[in-house]
Structure 1
Amino acid sequence: MTRQLILIEGLPGSGKSTIAKMVSEILIEHGKKVRLVQEGNLDHPADYDGVAFYSAEEFSSLVDAHEACKHILERGATTYQDGFLIPYRKMKEEFGVDFPDHVVQEIFSNDIYELPFEQNVKLITEKWRNFTESVISADGDSITIFECCFIQNPLTMGLVKYNQSKEENVQYVLELERIVQLLNPLLIYIHQQDVAHTFDKAIQERSKEWSNGFIQYYTNQGWGLAEGYHGVEGTVKVLQARKELETEIYQLLKIDKHWLDNSEYNRAACQGGLEKILKISL
């Protein structure tokens, strides 16, 4: 069965972006057609980034409240099921100052990753179904590589944001597995032995704005808030809980999967490990 999807997962700072690029490069060197889709892609074929969902009534109220932006909102929004999808980040890039920041911020409150858990699950799983169907109907030989949207994003909603039960978190990911199984997916999970060290490295390498926002997100809601966690230390505890759940989910998954230890951040060793994984998996 043709391999059409590779999933790269792991905690923040584990090396997902670097390894996703390495996988792409290795495949291209072996003559494969590759589509690399990394975190933050505003045109993600199976996920949403910078996209809000409004019911028809909510969208009508939004347009009425911002008459000056009516043409932008109506041009940018697309009908979807019983409402509208608004790709507000792409719209901001296109229209700039004509699409005011306060309107963008208002729309953000309906971002698909700000919606209630059940609504998020419905929209995301439907997007994955549409992606899978599009790949199958295309009947091509290209391999798509996704970074972090298969396990990380569901658990960011289920555990970190809303503190849903373990069963609900597990079932969210297992439903995605069921949806993509016809694509013969391969999961490569990037393991880090020391979660605290991994997060500290990410803090040192990334902006203060990123680290502050990440810490607030992980400790001011969901499981972190319920446990009373604060600051860097509290964030690490939430990440450790997330890692434990990801490990449990990894063990439950029936798709082809490989556990790649990147604790030493040794690029050569990682390259060699990936070469072996891809050789036996493709």
Structure 2
Amino acid sequence: MKLVLIDGLPGIGKSTLAERLCGFAGSIGCEARWYREEDQEHPVHPAGLTTSRRQPGYSARCLQGWQRFAERYRSTNGLCILEGSLFQSTVRFMMEQEQGGIRGYVAEFERIVQSLSPVVIYLRSIDATEHSRSTALHRGEAWTTRVSAYLETTGYSRRRNLKGAEGMHRLWTAYAELCDSLLDQMSMPTLTVLVEPPDMERPFGRSVEFLISTGHIQAATKVS
């Protein structure tokens, strides 16, 4: 099994890209599976794990999930595409709760999954604050109110008195900066693509070329 990790800010296009890559891989005869971040039966972060994210030891339980995943899939064939599993389902929650050891967590994660030939496709916004505002506008008032209300209860927001939608924008901007710095320390092959939603054609094309270059997709045909 070869592992493809897709990450980036909420609303950046992770699910759209993951679905298209999975479909493309299948269309050229490559066995592929794709898991949404919120899938109840996620192979690393099932619902029972994510609901415990505010409890002590969350990062250790995430690493245990990765260990089980690596042991299960290292001798299987095909491609496994996971969206949001690198940062959003782990690092983001660690940051929100101000849990230490984030860099150590990422280093240990890399060690665990190295047998799966992991690669990262990171969808990066040109301006994280403006992207957060655009996402809030696109997803609507009810979504923005719900998410910002949750974020207000986190340790990160309470310590900095972050409130409402503007507090959410500030938190996600800081999260994007953290992800950028973590990518700099990682050794696995990484493609960073600047994204301007809703245009996902360029990120898709560049991602296919990247996966061909790393041997994750065997294809002689270029994306038109």
User: TM-score, structure 1 length as denominator?
Assistant: 0.71
Pairwise mapping of residues 1-282 of structure 1 onto structure 2 (< 5 A)? 4-49=2-47, 51=48, 111-116=51-56, 119-136=57-74, 139-160=75-96, 162-165=97-100, 168-206=101-139, 208-282=141-215
Contact 2:59-2:94 within 8 A present in 1 as well: no
The AA in structure 1 aligned to 2:186 is: L
The AA in structure 1 aligned to 2:25 is: L
Give the 3-state SS of the residue equivalent to 2:90 in structure 1.
helix
Residue aligning to 2:220: none
More helix by share: 1
Contact 2:17-2:200 within 8 A present in 1 as well: no
Higher Rg:
1
**For 1:208-264, what per-residue CA distance to the aligned partner results, in whole angstroms no more than 9, with x for missing partners?**
443222112223322121111111111111111111110010011111111011125
**For 1:79-100, what per-residue CA distance to the aligned partner results, in whole angstroms no more than 9, with x for missing partners?**
xxxxxxxxxxxxxxxxxxxxxx
Contact 1:48-1:112 within 8 A present in 2 as well: no
Distance 1:156 1:271, change over 3 A: closer
2-side partners of 1:216 and 1:193: how far apart? 26
Contact 1:154-1:169 within 8 A present in 2 as well: no
Distance 1:249 1:281, change over 3 A: same
1-side partners of 2:108 and 2:149: how far apart? 29
2-side partners of 1:30 and 1:251: how far apart? 33
Q: Percent identity?
A: 23
User: TM-score, structure 2 length as denominator?
Assistant: 0.89
Contact 1:215-1:232 within 8 A present in 2 as well: yes
Contact 2:107-2:186 within 8 A present in 1 as well: yes
Contact 1:6-1:188 within 8 A present in 2 as well: yes
2-side partners of 1:158 and 1:224: how far apart? 13
Contact 2:152-2:163 within 8 A present in 1 as well: yes
Please report how far the alpha carbon of residue 265 of structure 1 lies from its aligned counterpart in structure 2 after TM superposition. 3.2
